[in-house]
Amino acid sequence: MKVQICDDNARPLSQRPIEVMQYYLRIISRYYPSIPSVFDDGYFREDTTAAVLAFQKEFGLPVTGNIDLATWESILQVWQNLEALTTAPKEFNLAVPRGDIVLLTLGERDNQLTALLQTVLLNLSVIYGNLPAVAPTGVYDEQTSRAVQDFQRLAGLPVADEGWLDRRTWNTLLRFWETEAKNR
């Protein structure tokens, strides 16, 4: 496995506060239907404003659509409470930690992360017909690279021309997989 810094997506989440806030709101929206889900893309658009307005209304904050300190602290607290309730003590997290940028590159062999990635892609291809199936071989081959790029396009992520798997793509794949597993 190679570690490389590649682009703006490689910046730690602490340098991407809008994306972090959107992620928290998306998780919160799963439990509060009045809050619309938002994709954590780092852009504060109308959908993000709508989610912030709904959150502020739901939790009795001044409804401004802006993220002031009280709103940010409330979003963080609600998210932390939900995480504490939904994470069982024996579960483990497969997500790559903040700040670490893991890129799988074409040709890597005998990599457990590659085999796991291929298994996740295979399972998602059954659910999403426009995502190609990938055989779990443990080799990051052309087929796997193309499937990662297809997923990046479908999820609205930046598409790596070289077919790399970065932290953001991996964590987004896991969120899709987790969501589908809970819905089955």
What span, in angstroms and rounded, lies between the C-alpha atoms of 156 and 29? 19
3-state helix, strand, coil in the chain (%, to 5): 50, 5, 45
Contact 37, 128 (CB under 8 A): no
Contact 78, 26 (CB under 8 A): no
pLDDT tens per residue across all 184 residues of the chain: 344 444 444 444 455 788 889 989 988 888 788 899 998 888 899 999 999 999 999 888 999 999 999 999 889 888 877 776 555 444 545 555 554 466 677 777 766 778 788 888 888 888 778 888 888 888 888 999 899 999 888 888 888 777 778 878 888 888 887 776 666 5
Q: Where are the domains of the chain?
A: 13-86, 94-183
Give the pLDDT score at 101: 65
pLDDT value at position 53? 96
61 vs 75: CA distance, rounded Å: 11
Q: Is the pTM of this model over 0.75?
A: no
Other C-beta atoms lying within 10 Å of the C-beta of residue 150: 18
Pairwise CA distance, residues 54 & 37, whole Å: 10
pLDDT of residue 181: 64
Residue 50's H or E segment, with its range, is helix 46-58
pLDDT (tens digit per residue) in 8-18: 444 444 557 88
Topology (CATH level 3) of domain 94-183: Muramoyl-pentapeptide Carboxypeptidase; domain 1 (1.10.101)
Q: Are 152 and 100 in contact (CB under 8 A)?
A: no
Q: How far apart, in whole angstroms, are the C-alpha atoms of residue 113 and residue 34? A: 37
Q: What is the pLDDT of residues 74-96, one digit of tens each?
A: 898 888 777 765 554 445 455 55
Give the N- to C-terminal CA distance of the chain in Å, as an integer. Answer: 32
What's the rounded Cα separation, in Å, for the pair 179 and 44? 24
Q: State the amino acid at position 31 in one-letter form.
A: Y
What pLDDT does 68 receive? 92
At residue 134, the 3 state secondary structure works out as: coil
Rg (CA), the chain: 17
In order of 5, 53, 86, 114, the CA distances from 14 in angstroms are: 16, 23, 24, 27
